[in-house]
Structure 1
Amino acid sequence: MRALWLAVAMSLVWVPVTAQAASLRCGTALVSDGASKSDVLAKCGEPLAKETRRESEEVKTRDGDTSTKHVVEKTIDEWTYNFGPNRLVQVVVFENGKLVDVKSAGYGR
């Protein structure tokens, strides 16, 4: 029985982490999670396109028996980079000015 528990514990050590880190390679520079828009601009240059939108999210907090709701506003910026026909187009997503995601689209032109 002890061997079984040891095997289970050891197998949990090798469980892969599912959290994905957002990163973008621009030439020899690399930008990743939490980078500012100015950092991305300095390392990757001006994007092909920029879009900005505002989103609202209702957040519930609980303090003992009291539950409170409030609305959180955030600014979402999406910058599109086209690095040419041999690389995928990259859409860089910022939330309140910080890099949170990088999405790949089709091949560039």
Structure 2
Amino acid sequence: MKAQIKAEIRDANMAYLNMAQSFIQKDLQSAVKILGMSQDAAEIIKTLSESQKTSIADSDILLCRFGVSDDVVWKLLTSHPAPKPEAEHAKRLLADILLAGRLAVAA
């Protein structure tokens, strides 16, 4: 694996671990649902030390994944050219509804 890609994976992993840990510490139940992990996993992440996070982040495995894998949602989120504000709001609302449905099914 190229050194630059490995460094980018490490940076992404560290950012994800820091965000997840902060979120879990503030609101465990919401974090578990939104991050798509078990409460046991969340409890482990909640107590990770900086050295443990650094060690975990340094793996070749990307810890997070895109929560959106639906082409329709991506097309709504990235529509071009820039639509009128009302149309943008409607498209964003539709994307949010589709994503909420995915989260509800996953839970």
TM-score normalised to the size of structure 1? 0.21
TM-score normalised to the size of structure 2? 0.21
Higher helix proportion: 2
Higher strand proportion: 1
Of structures 1 and 2, the larger Rg is shown by 1
